[in-house]
Amino acid sequence: MRFVLGALFASMLVSASFASGTKVYDSEIPGVALAGTIFISGAWTRQSPPGVTVGSAYFRIKNNGDVAERLLGGEVDFADRVEVHKMEMKDGVMSMFELEDGLTIQPGETISFEPGGYHLMIMGLEEQPMAGDIVPMTLDFSEAGLVDLLLPVAPIGAKEFSQ
Ligand SMILES: [Cu+2]
């Protein structure tokens, strides 16, 4: 299985269906998704160093609705599971832990997932996304439900994704 979908995106396929349900917009543009009142942008992941069996994913989430949303986790077809994690300084030591109940995004709030802070942890990599690939991920929200997203893959050690 390969992840390269580049040719597909040369045509920047976008389909919009404003008439039905909560999902008003399907984007096949990597890094962006709009579902219900949740807007995700700037999403990316990165290649893991050789021998490393975990990865991480980053993005900004904006809640345009008037009820709180919660990001519960996610799923990918190339690893065991996806968890919501936070990294922070504790007693002078950088530590990381899972947010087992997910992360709440209040109405009007934007939360950035970025290296050194909130991130999605991709656990048990069965296949290694490579820099330049585009890989699919499904996010699970309390209100918006399942949201499909495409993640461009940055090189090993990247601190941000630049187009
Ligand atoms: Cu983590």
| Residue 19 forms part of a structural domain | yes
| Residue 1 forms part of a structural domain | no
- pLDDT band of residue 19 (cuts 50, 70, 90) is very low
Find, among 126, 143, 113, 2, the residue nearest to 53 by Cα: 126
Specify the CATH number for the domain of residue 82.
Answer: 2.60.40.1890
Specify the number of domains making up the chain.
Answer: 1
| Residue 55 forms part of a structural domain | yes
| Residue 20 forms part of a structural domain | yes
pTM > 0.75: yes or no: yes
How far, in Å, from the CA of 76 to the mean position of ligand 1? 16
| Residue 24 forms part of a structural domain | yes
pLDDT in tens, 23-32: 434 567 899 9
Domain extent, residue 102, equals 6-154
At 157 the three-state DSSP class reads: coil
How far, in Å, from the CA of 56 to the mean position of ligand 1? 7
